[in-house]
Structure 1
Amino acid sequence: MDPHSPLENQLSLDETARAELLAALNELLEAERAGARVAMETGREIHSQELAALVADIHKDEVHWCGMLMRTIKSLGATPSSATGAFHGKAMAIPDVEDRLKFLNRGQAWVVRKLEALIPRLDVPQARADLEAMLQAHRQNIERVESRFSEGGTPEPGGAVGEPQPTEPSALIEYILQRFHEVHRQQLPELIELATKVESVHADHPDVPRGLAVLLQQMHSELLDHMAKEEGVLFPMLARGGNSFVTHPICVMMSEHEEHARRLTQLMALTRQATPPAGACTTWVRLCTATKTFSEDLQKHIQLENTVLFPQFDSSLARQG
């Protein structure tokens, strides 16, 4: 069996079994996306450095496994789901952070059960290894959270926090996909939801950011299109070492980066530099906090591609730097 052949050609599945497998993988993807959002949003409410490190590790893991599941689904010749599981809404409805983390742990246990049922159905070494690694990571995270809430127990230090970013192209691309692409896919739906609520509830407030939800929807659409181009065209070219035709798609991506930067300027102006008015409700404060985080992340994302990744394949950019 050729380990480099498409996954769909390595699986001995009839169409019914293949459809069931894809449904299971997409269900896991939606659940992981929901878990990542819960961890990201809950982390903002935590003041303990120890607990914040634990939740940051969980968020990083969830984002990583989202990326892995998306790649596996694409290898089967299918399109990954873009939905977020209902678990997110149920978890965020729990006001107490510790109770929410316990609920998150139950969600991790659900993923473990799903993986234990799914893995025996795979006869492809790479896919099986990826899902087994995901299973082991979830078991470890469950133990860490349980330890945190057991009598006298403390979580392990979050060793992955602050991990240096790579510079080698293939590793850097993987980092960008996990740290920025999947995170943006979580951030913008949340921002749109928060903006819609604020604009509706505070329609008569003089400082309400009118038109913010529409702007965010435009940014969401543009960024999804941009990331799809990178994931489907440019990044695979760069991961293979680039070629003489790579300059044009890099220029297109950098031009779109400039448009994203202009949108960010609009976003920050509309939200008064992501600053809530005096006496703002919790939702408005969350909106501003999430807006600031998204803006900072997108700027870092753009800078990393423009100044670290792309110059390795376009000498004119290296000279400009």
Structure 2
Amino acid sequence: MPSSIQARNYDSTAPRKVAFLGLGVMGYPMAGHLARAGHAVTVYNRTAAKAIAWCEEFADAPSKPRHAATPREAVAGAGLVFCCVGNDDDLRSVVLGEQGAFAGMAPGAVFVDHTTASAEVARELYAQARAQGLQFVDAPVSGGQAGAQNGQLTVMCGGDQAAYEAALPVILAYARACTLLGPVGSGQLAKMVNQICIAGILQGLAEAIAFGQNAQLDMKQVLDVISKGAAQSWQLENRGKTMVDGKFDFGFAVDWMRKDLGLVLQEARRNGSRLPLTALVDQFYGDVQKMGGNRWDTSSLIQRLR
């Protein structure tokens, strides 16, 4: 079993011919789970060497994995196409154009976008897909790198019921939960809600730990105690003690969080939401970047307080 993916019991579903575009921190293990589940996976990555390495790592999967030189070549014959890239522009670059995925997909095929992007680009690509007889689901994920490696992601979807139901059994190769939340764009909006919550929780946790340390408390012991009460959260249990130790060389990077919060604040301006705490924490992450923490885990907010 390759080191990038831990063993798990896959939900049974008939093997499908699928494509996966984007082999970054999240996409690489997600595509690996599809291969381990028996699906015939063709991958595309902007850096071809990573696609070649992925194929070598999963060469013993039930269906021999393949890589392609362009998104269009990768999706040929695939009923389901999955994508996980960096941002709106990256997404358009692999979807649109003569060598893009939409140019190579057969009518009725489903494109599932796991990129954390804007609701606007999801609606744009949905309209383009429909015009070409294709289906499109926006499906951002939560759970971070560990969730992708362990096949325990939470997937938030927006789109048509039929497209969602077609993709769901295959998505479950790397997800513990997958929910259709409404029309296209709903998945991206739900991911924004998720990031608003995380930003606030992490800032509160950072202040609490800094306060406790200044008060000369054994903060690891304190975290053990309060994790049994109303302060309990995933962030406290998984990031609290590493924050105490000042360890941030893992997890969801500050640069990525700032990108996500930028999408949140842009959408808030559009829909009239007031997000004072989120805007403030976004500025705090800017401070962390200035400290050189661009690739530190998002829990590095505490470094501002030390």
- The TM-score with structure 1 as length reference comes to 0.30
Q: Relative to total residues, which structure has the larger helix share, 1 or 2?
A: 1
* Relative contact order, higher structure (CA 8 A, sep 6+): 1
Q: Give TM-score scaled by structure 2 length.
A: 0.31
Which structure is higher in strand share? 2
